[in-house]
Amino acid sequence: MKRSGKHPARFLVIIPIMVILDIVILSVAAYHDSHIPHDPQNPLRSLPWLSLAAIGYLVPANAAGALTAVILSVIAAVTEKKENQKEKIMKTINIAIDGPGGAGKSSISKAIASELGFIHVDTGAMYRAIALFAVRNHCTAPEQIRERLDEIDVELKFIGGAQRVMLCGEDVTDYIRSPEVTMTASKVSAVPEVRAHLFDLQKKIAAENNIIMDGRDIGSVVLPHADLKIFLTASAEERASRRYLEMREKPDCPSYEDILEDIRKRDYADMHREVAPLVQAEDAVLVDSTNMGFNEVVEHITGLIRTKTDLR
Ligand code: DC
């Protein structure tokens, strides 16, 4: 955490300055003020007068200087305390992880968040929740979803660090991963009003928590001042083959070719939409995980975060 570099006690330097000034003034007064009798034969005769001058003149001056120093120090201490409290409240660590679908952003972010004690925010799930609303209510066209946005209340809950997505009060976390919702999410996320609808909520969560937030536009739009930005990618073929391995035991598993085609379509849609397209932010660190194992990627990114944020 940054410090102001100004210590409240700096005002106490006024005291030695006052003392030096007093000595100068007293010397000048003693030797040049005609009201102080001065006998060069017997300098001790001047002492009572010098003592009187010290009491009548120097003591109040010193007291005033010391009081000023103490008052300024107290004001500085109170101001600094307030600044520190404000900084403590406002300063959270924000890590942005962007990249194409299927690059492992969510599972990797989740592992890193749990290692660092951060909250993992999967913004894709928020778009998926809106897509689920659109599918359920047959309003997937941009103009239809725009009209219904006021009815769509998306909220995130974090239970034991795990994110749950609430849609109008219902926990829909388990219903947002179907192929239909996936394709609709890609469509509705291209609607500027949909993005604006989620933007404030994303900013608010980041302002209040230490977070790893993953998505497509986190480093470029949502958190342009993130402490660290990662662009996590892998070749489309590698992403398709990982997805295929994950799904192949399921009865309705699509073919590798179909998965690859879906990934390419989504990449194209995410990268070519007009608003907040998927791009690598200029200051993002590129991590290409095509030839890296899961743990290797987690360790690599965790190391980057620790170095960048001084976390131990
Ligand atoms: O990461 P995901 O597959 O769960 O994302 C679902 C869709 O939401 C995807 O098509 C891209 C979109 N999305 C987005 O446009 N911006 C984000 N920050 C996150 C996801």
Residues 6+ apart with CB under 8 A from 17: 65
Highest mean pLDDT among 51-55, 75-79, 166-170: 166-170
- Report yes or no: 93 and 309 within 8 Å, Cβ to Cβ: yes
Q: Is the CB of 127 under 6 A from ligand 1?
A: yes
| Tens-digit pLDDT profile for residues 92-134 | 999 999 999 999 999 999 999 999 999 999 999 999 999 999 9
Q: Is residue 234 pLDDT above 90, yes or no?
A: yes
How many other CB atoms are there within 10 angstroms of residue 36's CB atom? 15
Pairing of the two strands 119-122 and 211-215? parallel
Residue with CA nearest ligand 1 atom 18: 215
Closest among 301, 279, 276 to 288, alpha carbons compared: 301
Do 266 and 175 share a structural domain?
yes
Amino acid 14: pLDDT = 76
Amino acid 78: pLDDT = 82
Q: Is the CB of 167 under 6 A from ligand 1?
A: no
Do 193 and 50 share a structural domain?
no
Do 253 and 220 share a structural domain?
yes
Q: Is residue 50 pLDDT above 70, yes or no?
A: no
Amino acid 8: pLDDT = 63
Report the side by side order of strands in the sheet with 170-171: 154-159, 162-167, 170-171
Closest among 175, 75, 184, 170 to 135, alpha carbons compared: 184
Q: Is the CB of 128 under 6 A from ligand 1?
A: yes
Do 70 and 99 share a structural domain?
no
What number does the ligand 1 atom closest to the CA of 218 have? 18
3-state secondary structure of 157: strand
CATH classification at residue 144? 3.40.50.300
CA angle 239, 154, 88 (to 5 degrees): 90
Q: Is residue 265 pLDDT above 80, yes or no?
A: yes
Closest among 218, 217, 240, 229 to 287, alpha carbons compared: 229
Do 229 and 138 share a structural domain?
yes
Place of tokens 């986190």: 218
Q: Is the CB of 216 under 6 A from ligand 1?
A: yes
Q: Is residue 7 pLDDT above 70, yes or no?
A: no
In the structure, what pLDDT confidence band is assigned to residue 84 with cuts at 50, 70 and 90? low
Do 216 and 159 share a structural domain?
yes
Do 175 and 38 share a structural domain?
no
Stretch 275-283: mean pLDDT, rounded?
93
Q: Is the CB of 195 under 6 A from ligand 1?
A: no
| Tens-digit pLDDT profile for residues 142-151 | 999 999 999 9
Stretch 273-292: mean pLDDT, rounded?
94
Domain range for 51: 10-82
Output the average pLDDT for the chain.
Answer: 88
Q: Supply the pTM of this predicted model.
A: 0.72
Lowest mean pLDDT, pick from 35-39, 136-140, 155-159, 238-242? 35-39
What number does the ligand 1 atom closest to the CA of 266 have? 10
Do 78 and 135 share a structural domain?
no
In a 13 Å sphere around the CA of 25, the CA atoms on its Cβ side amount to 13
Q: Is the CB of 243 under 6 A from ligand 1?
A: no
Stretch 260-282: mean pLDDT, rounded?
93
Handedness of CA 164, 166, 169, 175 (dihedral sign): negative
In a domain, 2, yes or no: no
First to last CA, the chain: 14
In this structure, what token pair is assigned to residue 213? 């937030």
Amino acid 5: pLDDT = 44
Closest among 229, 234, 213, 233 to 282, alpha carbons compared: 229
Chosen domain end from 56, 82, 108: 82
Bridge partners of 162, per DSSP, are 159
Q: Is the CB of 173 under 6 A from ligand 1?
A: no
How many domains does the chain contain in total? 2
Q: Is residue 3 pLDDT above 50, yes or no?
A: no
More confident residue, 251 or 225: 225
What number does the ligand 1 atom closest to the CA of 185 have? 7
From 178, 189, 212, 264, mutation site for ligand 1 pocket: most ligand atoms within 8 A of C-beta: 189
Lowest mean pLDDT, pick from 20-24, 31-35, 38-42, 77-81? 31-35
Distance CA 291, CA 271 (A): 23
Amino acid 15: pLDDT = 75
Report the separation in Å between the CA atom of 189 and the middle of ligand 1, taken as the mean of its atom positions.
7
Do 179 and 61 share a structural domain?
no
In this structure, what token pair is assigned to residue 273? 């939409």
Do 132 and 66 share a structural domain?
no
More confident residue, 90 or 109: 109
Q: Is residue 11 pLDDT above 90, yes or no?
A: no
In a domain, 4, yes or no: no
